[in-house]
A and B are shown apart, each in its own frame.
Chain A
């Protein structure tokens, strides 16, 4: 009876050992399958991110500055052309969480985060010159074209509009017009109005301004 008890204990011990070996092999298997694919995902994600924020990319104005209209026009085939490692892959590109381009479901992929600014070139800005007070309007650098609309009042006439002492609009009989004036982009410009004594009226200057908004670009790719 003692021999059978020993044998029984031995069988139990061997079964325990077998069980633990099976667990070990399955953990190793899971570890191996888990490790595959990740380096390619990371390579593709960094490739897409680098190509999208590069200075010579079609969607950027300069390095790390995306043009908002180009971002709206971005689609999956353009991303593939820019970054060949993302060919035939599922990817998702978001700006501050809002999706820009999405193809498939890259939930098992790697995410790369870059800080960018989004440049919006079509924001309109308007400023007015009060002729009676002789104020000036300062147009910041980077604006090449402004629309000046002169609305004379009942008194006096507005004769000249100067940009940084250069005469851009002039009419001795009085200006009453909407005109497009070209300015230098490389420096800011001061627009001044010259008018006869005690003149009233409004001169409105409208232009498109660039706005820079910081955003977070996230690229997730699953090859």
Chain B
């Protein structure tokens, strides 16, 4: 009989402890929630389009961004250097995709992931850069 009543008190104490620990866990997990990554990705995409838009190529006649949109031959000519330039600008764990009116290159866009994007309009059409953590 004494054993039964001892364990009842302990059960009550255990319930109380679990309740309080549950609320405490709510505090701890709530404040550890990470901030959204979208503004950082948007800043990366914006910086990439800005730098590409001011890099001179073709003997300084036009910007790398414009050369990517100008024509298919210009796109193929500039594609490799543009890819290297973007890799140098972005951190190692970020993937990108560039789309222009005459072609695109980069990793395929993931269907479910936070993606930052920036679009620059050139004389030949819009050039869009997407970046995401991958």
Interface residues of chain A, those whose CB is within 8 Å of chain B, are 2, 5-6, 9-10, 12-14, 16-17, 20-21, 23-24, 27-28, 31, 34-35, 53, 62-65, 112-117, 138, 140-142, 187-188, 212, 214, 216
Contacts and interface: CB of A to CB of B under 8 A. Distances in A.
Given A24-B21, A27-B27, A34-B31, 19 more contacts: A9-B10, A10-B9, A12-B9, A13-B16, A16-B17, A17-B16, A21-B20, A24-B23, A28-B24, A35-B31, A62-B54, A64-B50, A64-B54, A113-B91, A114-B47, A138-B59, A140-B59, A142-B60, A214-B51
Contacts of B44: 113, 115
A187 B58 CA distance: 11
A13 B47 contact: no
B60 A117 contact: no
**Chain B, interface residues (CB within 8 Å), range:** 35 or more
Secondary structure dominating the interface of B: helix
B61 A187 contact: yes
Contacts, number: 105
Contacts of B28: 27, 31
Given A9-B9, A24-B23, A31-B30, A116 B59 contact: no
Interface of B: 1-2, 5-6, 9-10, 12-13, 16-17, 20-21, 23-24, 27-28, 30-31, 40, 43-44, 47-48, 50-51, 54-56, 59-61, 85, 88-91
Given A63-B50, A114-B47, A214-B85, A17 B20 contact: yes
